[in-house]
């Protein structure tokens, strides 16, 4: 063992290390101090600290939940319901914001004056109005515009839209497991097939119709389970029921509550403006010579976009778009204003109020948002790395 390595040498690197170590030390001390201070003050005021409340019965109900929940479940379960609702609205928001954003971004570059101006107006209007106002607008505008339950907007007698929500048929599956496994199987076979096709192209220069064959696999294999596997699907159509003279309700189907619809709408319309600008910047950032060079070696228009422009544009688009995804997720906490039961409303709202455990609950909520954001970040960084230039 080389002891020399451990010698404390002031003249070298260690000299630079001392201030850093001291800074960390002071920081840790400050944190410890505030923790102790909070504990003392809480002790003086008769407030205990602990997470035991999480297993207690929550005794409040939640409008909308992806998992089985009612007031007899624990606070931890209520937390999970809120978390899943946050993830749901964020995922829907990210999905539509991306589609809308890319469309608008490309539309802004359209040579057609009307289309590009319309896209420009869209961006300027929606990114300059505070999000909370847009959420209120969509929510209360929707509530005021939609008809009452008995006069619902009827979509072919299977789906109904009214002030209480959008009622769609419920899927009733038999042998759902088999169907589910077939989808997994189809996905795996698609992955293997694309690898095989790539090998064929790289080694023999043969172009296989990857897209069509993948599509056939994805549709065909699950379809087979219907034909020979005994999988079947039926729909339970929502039925109107009268509760009293003027109170009606739809039962039997799945209800998508207006809070979710308007929140997802507001979030995606707002975030789409920023994504559109990223997309525009990304496409404009690709050198014009690249397209011309690609055209000169005989690539088709679709191939130019797919193989030359997009890979380079994506490198510019992805990092700022990651920020927008994170913003959207965090902005979903405004849900509390319109009664969408997200984690802030359910956990940092009702649960906090019922238990009075402000420090514990707010810490958990902050950590949850942090982990959510970091997960999105990690995924997008991975995707970014995949898309980055690979120096060879």
Partner 1 sequence: MKSIKTWILVGFASLLLVACGQGGGGAGSKKSKTLENTKKAGFVKCGVSQGLPGFSNADASGNWTGIDVDVCRAVAAAVLGDADKVKYTPLSAKERFTALTSGEIDVLARNTTWTLSRDADIGLTFVGVNFYDGQGFMVRKASGINSVNDFKDGISACTNTGTTTELNMRDFFNSKNIKYEPIAFEKADEVVQAYDAGRCDTYTTDKSGLAAQRTKLSNPDEHKVLPETISKEPLGPVVRQGDSVWEDIVRWSLNTMIEAEEYGVNSSNASSLKESDNPAIKRLVGAEGELGAAFGLDNEWSLRIIEQVGNYGESYKKHIADTGILPNRGPNELWTKGGILYVPPAR
Query: Which positions touch partner 1 (CB under 8 A)?
Result: 15-16, 18-19, 22-23, 26, 29-30, 33-34, 37, 40-42, 44-47, 59-63, 71, 140, 143-144, 148, 163-164, 241, 243-247, 249, 251, 258-259, 336-339, 341, 345, 348-350, 352-358
Virtual torsion, Cα 118, 120, 124, 125, nearest 10 deg: 10
Residue 254: beta bridge partners? 168
Residue 217 or residue 338: which is nearer to partner 1 going by CB? 338
Q: Roughly how many angstroms between the first and final C-alpha of the chain, as a whole number? A: 40
Report how far residue 382's alpha carbon sits from residue 68's, in angstroms, rounded to the nearest whole number. Answer: 34
Please give, one letter per residue, the 3-state secondary structure of 372-387.
Answer: HHHHHHHHHHHHHHHH
Cα 213 to Cα 230: distance, rounded to the nearest angstrom: 25
Residue carrying the six token digits 């002030």: 163
3-state secondary structure of 210: helix
Tokens describing residue 88: 């749901």
Shortest CB 52 distance to partner 1, Å: 12
Alpha-helical regions (H) of the chain = 13-44, 75-108, 113-127, 131-145, 176-204, 210-228, 258-284, 288-296, 301-303, 310-331, 343-345, 352-355, 358-387
Q: How far is the CB of 84 from partner 1 (least distance, A)?
A: 17
Nearer to partner 1, 68 or 202 (CB): 68
Nearer to partner 1, 160 or 179 (CB): 160
From the CB of 69, what's the least distance to partner 1, in Å?
12
Smallest gap from Cβ 67 to partner 1, in A, equals 17
- Which lies closer to partner 1 via its Cβ, residue 164 or residue 280? 164
The residue (of 1 and 145) whose beta carbon lies closer to partner 1 is: 145
244 or 296: CB nearest partner 1: 244
| Least Å from the CB of residue 41 to partner 1 | 6
Least distance CB 266 / partner 1 (angstroms): 15
């Amino acid at each position: 063992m080389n002891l020399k390595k451990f010698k404390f040498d002031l003249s070298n690197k260690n000299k630079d290390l001392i201030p850093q170590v001291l800074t960390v030390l002071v920081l840790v001390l400050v944190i410890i101090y505030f923790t102790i201070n909070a504990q003392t003050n809480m002790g003086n005021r008769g407030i205990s600290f602990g997470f035991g409340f999480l297993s207690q019965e929550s005794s409040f109900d939640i409008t909308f939940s992806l998992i089985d929940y009612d007031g007899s479940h624990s606070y931890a379960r209520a937390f999970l319901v809120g978390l899943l609702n946050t993830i749901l609205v964020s995922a829907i928001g990210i999905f539509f914001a991306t589609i809308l954003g890319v469309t608008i971004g490309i539309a802004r570059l359209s040579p057609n004056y009307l289309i590009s101006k319309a896209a420009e107006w869209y961006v300027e209007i929606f990114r300059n109005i505070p999000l909370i106002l847009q959420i209120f607008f969509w929510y209360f505008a929707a509530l005021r515009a939609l008809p009452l339950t008995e006069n619902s907007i009827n979509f072919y007698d299977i789906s109904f839209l009214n002030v209480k929500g959008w009622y769609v048929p419920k899927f009733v599956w038999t042998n759902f497991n088999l169907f589910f496994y077939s989808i997994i199987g189809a996905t795996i076979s698609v992955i293997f097939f694309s690898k095989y096709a790539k090998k064929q192209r790289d080694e023999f220069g043969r172009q296989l119709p990857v897209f069509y064959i993948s599509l056939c696999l994805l549709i065909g294999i699950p379809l087979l389970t219907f034909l020979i596997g005994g999988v079947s699907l039926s729909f339970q159509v929502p039925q109107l029921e009268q509760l009293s003279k003027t109170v009606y309700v739809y039962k039997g189907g799945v209800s998508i509550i207006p809070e979710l619809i308007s929140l997802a709408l507001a979030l995606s319309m707002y975030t789409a403006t920023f994504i559109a600008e990223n997309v525009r910047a990304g496409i404009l950032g690709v050198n014009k010579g690249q397209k011309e060079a690609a055209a000169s070696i005989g690539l088709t228009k679709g191939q130019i976009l797919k193989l030359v422009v997009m890979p380079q544009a994506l490198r510019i688009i992805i990092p700022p778009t990651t920020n927008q995804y994170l913003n959207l997720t965090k902005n979903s906490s405004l849900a509390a204003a319109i009664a969408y039961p997200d984690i802030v409303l359910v956990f940092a709202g009702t649960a906090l109020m019922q238990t009075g455990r402000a420090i514990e609950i707010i810490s958990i909520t902050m950590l949850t948002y942090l982990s959510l954001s970091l997960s999105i970040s990690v995924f997008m960084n991975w995707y970014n790395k995949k898309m980055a230039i690979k120096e060879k």
